[in-house]
Amino acid sequence: MNKVFPNVAKAVEDIPDGASIAIAGFFTAGTPLPLIKALVEQGAKDLTIICMQMGPGNEDINQLVVNKQIKKAICNYPFYRSASRGANSPTEQAVRAGDIEMEVSPMGTFSERLRCGGAGIAAFYTPTGVGTVVEEGKEKRQFGDREYLLETALKPDYAFVYAYKGDRMGNLCCHKTARNYNPEMAAAAKITIAAVENIVEPGEIDGDMVHIPGVYVQRVVKVDRLRYIPTID
C-alpha cells in the first residue's frame, strides 16, 4: 500500500467545484498551509470550508476568499479578535456583504460534529449553546434535569491535515499542540490529504505513537517544515 503523492498540486488536483473541505489547524499550529496554497492554484469554486478560523493565524486562506472560491464556511472562531483588524479582513468583508454564508458552531460542538461524521453517528445531544442563539432551529430535549441541543454530524468530501511524521500507509504522528483538529477531520472526510513533514517507512513510527491510523488517510504528500513565529496579532 502506497498513498504517497508526488506533490501538493497532484494531491488536490481532482477537487471539484462545490466540494466541502475540512482544514485542520488551531490558529497557526498544525495548519496545512501548503495544501491551502495548492487549492488556491487549483482554483475549485463554490467550496464549503470547515475550519476553526478564517484569517487569524491562517492568512493563506484569505486568498481563497479573494479568489471567490468559497461559498460557505463553517467555523468556531472565524474572525480577528480586534474589530478594526476584522473590518479590513477579506473574510469579514465577504460575510458582511453576503458573499460567503457563515455558520458558527461552539468549538466543542464543531469538533464533535466532525468526530461523529467519522464515527457513523448522525447527531448528538450537547448542553452547549442552550439558551443562546446557537439553539435556534434545533431540537431541544431534556435528559435528567438538564436541557441539551441536537447537533448534526459533518461529513466533508475532503480533509486537509498536517502531521510531523507519516508513513506511506498513511499512519500519522502529530507534534504537541499541532494535533488539535487533525484526527477528527481525517476520520470525518471521504478523502483525507495529509501534508507530512517527514515521510518514513512503515514500522519507523512506533505503533503506540500513531495519532491518526492510516485507514483514515487516502493521500500523503511531503512538505517542508514551515518556519514561522506563532501569532494572531
Partner 1 sequence: MSVAKTKKFKGLSRELIALRIANELEDGTYVNLGIGIPTLVSDWIEGRDIVLQAELGMLNTGPLASQEEVEQDLINASCQPVTELPGSCYFSENESFAMIRGGYMDAAVLGALQVSEEGDLAGWQNPGRGLPEDIGNIGGSMDLAVGARKVIIAMMHVTNDGQYKIVKKCSYPLTARGVVDLIVTDLAFIEVTPKGLVLREVAPGLTAKDVQSVTEPKLIVSPDLIEMAF
- Sites of contact with partner 1 (CB under 8 A): 26-30, 56-57, 76-79, 81, 83, 86, 92, 95-96, 102, 104-109, 111-112, 114-115, 126-134, 136, 164, 175-184, 211, 226-232
**Residue among 20, 102, 111 at smallest CA distance from 124:** 111
Query: How does strand 123-126 pair with strand 47-51?
Result: unpaired
CA-to-CA separations, 101 to 28, 49, 56, 93, 214, in angstroms, rounded: 24, 10, 18, 12, 33
Minimum distance between the CB of residue 170 and partner 1, rounded to whole angstroms?
A: 17
Query: How many other CB atoms are there within 10 angstroms of residue 155's CB atom?
Result: 16
Nearer residue to partner 1 within complex by CB, 32 or 57: 57
53 contacts 74 by C-beta, under 8 angstroms: no
CB of 225 to partner 1, least distance (A): 9
Residue 215 beta carbon to partner 1: minimum distance, rounded to whole angstroms? 17
Query: CB-wise, 74 or 169, nearer to partner 1?
Result: 74
Tell the residue number behind the cell numbers 514561522, with chain if given: 228
**In this complex, which beta carbon is closest to partner 1, that of residue 78 or of residue 170?**
78
Tell me the Ramachandran region of residue 182: left when phi exceeds 0, alpha when psi lies from -120 to 50, beta otherwise.
alpha
Nearer to partner 1, 12 or 205 (CB): 205
Residue 33 CB, nearest distance to partner 1 (Å)?
12
Question: Considering beta carbons, is residue 207 or 227 the nearer one to partner 1?
Answer: 227
How far apart are CB 112 and partner 1 at their closest, in Å?
6
Question: Min. distance of Cβ 59 from partner 1 in angstroms?
Answer: 13
* Least distance between partner 1 and beta carbon 61 (Å): 15
Please identify, using beta-carbon distances, which residue of 19 and 23 lies nearer to partner 1.
Answer: 23
What is residue 129's three-state secondary structure?
coil
Grid cell 506563532 is found at 230
CB nearer partner 1, residue 122 or residue 226: 226
Side-chain-facing half-sphere of 215: CA atoms under 13 Å: 6
Where residue 114 falls (left for φ over 0; alpha for ψ -120 to 50; beta otherwise) is alpha
- Cβ distance 140 to 128 under 8 Å? no
